[in-house]
Amino acid sequence: MHKISRFVIGSLIAIFIYLLSDFPVLAVTQLEWIDVRAYGAVGDGSTDDTAAIQAAWDNIFTTGGTLFFPRGTYKIASTLNFSTGSQDYTKSYVIRGVGKKASVILSTNLPIAIDLGGTNKVTIEDIGIKDAGTKAKVAIARYRVSGGVDGGHYHVYRNLDIYGAYSIAGLYSIASEVNDHYILSIQNTGTGVAFASDETNMLALTGTVQTIVATGSNTVNNFYGGYLWGWGGGGGALYFPGGNADNFNFYGTYFFAADNPAHGCTRSD
């Protein structure tokens, strides 16, 4: 009886395999996972890793994928161009470290540390971004590009730490929609603010890779936990020129404006 059962089961398996042979095999494509060290990044805090990091990004630019920063401090001497300059929703990108204190991108007095102009579907997680100077403008700039109706949307920032003396903002969002921020921590010790949401480019940011689009909304930006601190004179936690704060949602986020009680936690000109 057991022999018959085994025979029947074996026969059914053989028939099943035969039937499957008539169907095409679907290939599974694995997105690129690029370790910046594979392109020459050192992460010792003194070697200029700009070219290596840029080369690693350029490798996943056309396909999408993950740009991985192992433990270390990665010094950059010029802006990292993570801008696609297009409105492509078919690709997604992940910029990932191993912890916001363990994987750090270090700059000194750059106008922009990371330029994400026009780039959609970006996740940045477990990374610290720090400027060691006193004349930086922005840590991360995300925005629509000139001539496009889209771009700079669907970003996710998770366990991200931004620290520096920025004259504009730690995170500068221009016409960038539908973004989620989980435990985003920004400490701006400069004259700017922690987070600026701008729809008309009033702050006239220069040094971007792409040309910023003139107008557009910043609707649907969600913040979960984290803190936004503005320490410098004239700054604050949030800045919404022209009252540009359409559908901003904060859940357990801490705001602090140290040197400008008149502005409190927000500025809306």
Give the pTM: 0.81
Rg (CA), the chain: 23
pLDDT bucket at 245, cuts 50 / 70 / 90:
low
What pLDDT sits at residue 84? 67
Residues pairing with 162 in the sheet: 129, 186
What pLDDT sits at residue 114? 95
CB 79 within 8 A of CB 112: yes
pLDDT tens for each residue of 121-154: 899 999 999 999 999 989 998 887 765 556 678 8
Of 64-78, 145-159, 195-209, the range with the highest mean pLDDT is: 64-78
What pLDDT sits at residue 22? 46
pLDDT bucket at 74, cuts 50 / 70 / 90:
very high
pLDDT at 24 over 50: no
CB 108 within 8 A of CB 132: yes
Q: Specify the amino acid at residue 205.
A: L
